[in-house]
Amino acid sequence: MIVMKFGGTSVGSGQRIAQLGRIVAAVAAERNAPPVVVVSAMSGVTDSLVRAAQTAAAGDGRTYTLVRDELQQRHEQAIADCGIGPEPARGLRAEVTGLLDWFETLCQSMHTLGELTPRGLDVVSGLGERLSARLTVAALLGQDIPAQMVEATEIIVTTDRFGGAQPLFEETTARARARVLPLVEAGIAPVVTGFIAATIDGVPTTLGRGGSDYSATILARCLPADEVWIWTDVDGVMTADPRIVPEARTLPGISFGEVAELSYFGAKVLHPQTIAPIVDAGIPVRVLNSLHPERPGTLVSQRVVGAPVVKGITAIRDLSLITVEGRGMQGVPGVAGRVFSAVARSGANILMITQSSSEQSICFVVRTVDARAAVDALQAEFDRELGRQDIHRIGRDDEASIVAVVGAGMRGRPGIAAAVFGALAEAEINIISIAQGSSEYNLSLVVTNGDVDLAVRAIHHRFQLAEALATPDPEQEGVLR
Ligand code: ASP
Ligand code: MG
């Protein structure tokens, strides 16, 4: 069984929804069983819904009505374009209107109350999936593909942490199996609303922004499925951001661990939380382009594929490097503990840490927006030491970026760091600080914001990633021909 999720752009218009139907039909024919389909809202819709609710609660009585009109138009256009007959189109328009009436009523009451609770926001922000799933079912039926709508609120059970609820696997497994398996066995494709869920008492929740991927992996684990396919608008996981490195390539395979490192360091790929439900179960994920379903995409699995050694290069910008320096720190236990406790109390998240072995300085990196609070907290904590000159400086360097080089094959392999540093030296880029996690899956370097793009390109070039992946592996076939 395959669980396939279609992201916002893959359901972004009537034409795209019709294309979704062709993909589902091809997979169903090839595998002799329909996939379980999970859909996102049409691209941009969730943002509009959230904006409408927030402005309504803030006293703006107009924006939500404009959003309503815009959503009505957008969905009606999609109904006109998704290739269904006049009769089902009429029914569908009535359903869309009903849901949007409900949306307006909700916003109106937020406007009257002047209040938006996280619980209320989940009800409103989840409407986009309820709309897109209805269109998807109609389009599938229009292509003679048996399909049925399944509201995720009936099958995915979560905690009541609104805006970022956590799945309760036992309850979800029972409900999902009871509702979804009979449909699949009868040859009917279940179409499940992504992103939304409900508490055990049936109160609607959401899984957090971008949560439709999470819906897919939760279902895959519970049913269980053999694979998860994420249909998106790029060819898969890439070696670098193609806007920075035009010759960036799609990776045929990558491990869960590698993808987690890439996402931690800023690449917009599968979030570690998203893949958590399926990692232990060993259920692989394919990332595929719904505009080019014949392309192989990227297979994300437990397996570490050897080549290329470096899988990806990524960057996070607008960071600050904070340095605590002083001779009085040497051999004094507890200084690092106090540094990081103070920073934690300030609310700043630390992205990278280095300490020189002379123990005379500790450096770490936070987002620039958090830097001031972190430095203030350190100054308060080390007031006495600063007075005695045991610590002589708490420095802050803005305009820093982290460049991360990721690949499990780097582990225990000499020469990788040398190649990275060589590439940067040749490009005359100054490295401010370096860290390597003990997993050896990634090497992180701090450079100035102005050098980031050049650094990513230089490293990509040095490892010849474009050349290494220029010709697709003949063993790696597209999922659809
Ligand atoms: N529609 C939701 C969002 O935009 C969930 C998703 O697209 O995955 O956050
Ligand atoms: Mg989305």
Q: Which CATH number fits domain 2-233: 3.40.190.10, 3.30.930.10, 3.40.1160.10, 1.10.8.60?
A: 3.40.1160.10
Tens-place pLDDT, residues 2-47? 999 999 999 999 999 999 999 999 999 999 999 999 999 999 999 9
Higher pLDDT, 414 or 239: 239
Cβ(196)–Cβ(218) below 8 Å: no
300 forms beta bridges with 254, 285
Cβ(352)–Cβ(401) below 8 Å: no
Higher pLDDT, 232 or 435: 232
Tens-place pLDDT, residues 301-326? 998 776 788 999 999 999 999 999 98
Query: Average pLDDT for residues 52-76, to the nearest whole number?
Result: 98
**pLDDT on residue 477:** 56
**pLDDT on residue 436:** 81
Q: Is any ligand 1 atom within 6 A of the Cβ of residue 284?
A: no
Radius of gyration of the chain (CA): 25
**pLDDT on residue 264:** 81
Give CA–CA dist 339/334, Å, rounded: 9
Classify domain 312-467 by CATH architecture. 2-Layer Sandwich (3.30)
Tens-place pLDDT, residues 113-126? 999 999 999 999 99
Structure-block tokens of residue 183: 């449909």
Measured in Å, residue 73 CA sits from the centre of ligand 1 at 20
- Which residues, 6 or more positions from 60, have their beta carbon under 8 angstroms from its beta carbon? 111
Tens-place pLDDT, residues 320-370? 999 999 888 777 788 889 999 999 999 999 999 988 777 788 999 999 999
**pLDDT on residue 413:** 81
Q: Is any ligand 1 atom within 6 A of the Cβ of residue 46?
A: yes
Give CA–CA dist 417/101, Å, rounded: 59
**pLDDT on residue 476:** 55
Q: Is any ligand 1 atom within 6 A of the Cβ of residue 40?
A: yes
pLDDT band at 478 (very low <50, low <70, confident <90, very high): low
**pLDDT on residue 28:** 96
Query: Average pLDDT for residues 452-478, to the nearest whole number?
Result: 82
List the domain boundaries for the chain: 2-233, 312-467
Tens-place pLDDT, residues 424-444? 999 999 999 888 876 678 899
- Which residues, 6 or more positions from 333, have their beta carbon under 8 angstroms from its beta carbon? none
Tens-place pLDDT, residues 141-171? 999 999 999 999 999 999 999 999 999 999 9
Q: Is any ligand 1 atom within 6 A of the Cβ of residue 173?
A: no
Residue 473 in this model has a pLDDT that exceeds 70: no
**Which residue among 47, 71, 195, 215 is best mutated to probe the pocket of ligand 1, counting the most ligand atoms within 8 A of its Cβ?**
195
* Ligand 2 ion: nearby residues, β-carbon < 5 Å: 8, 40
**pLDDT on residue 90:** 97
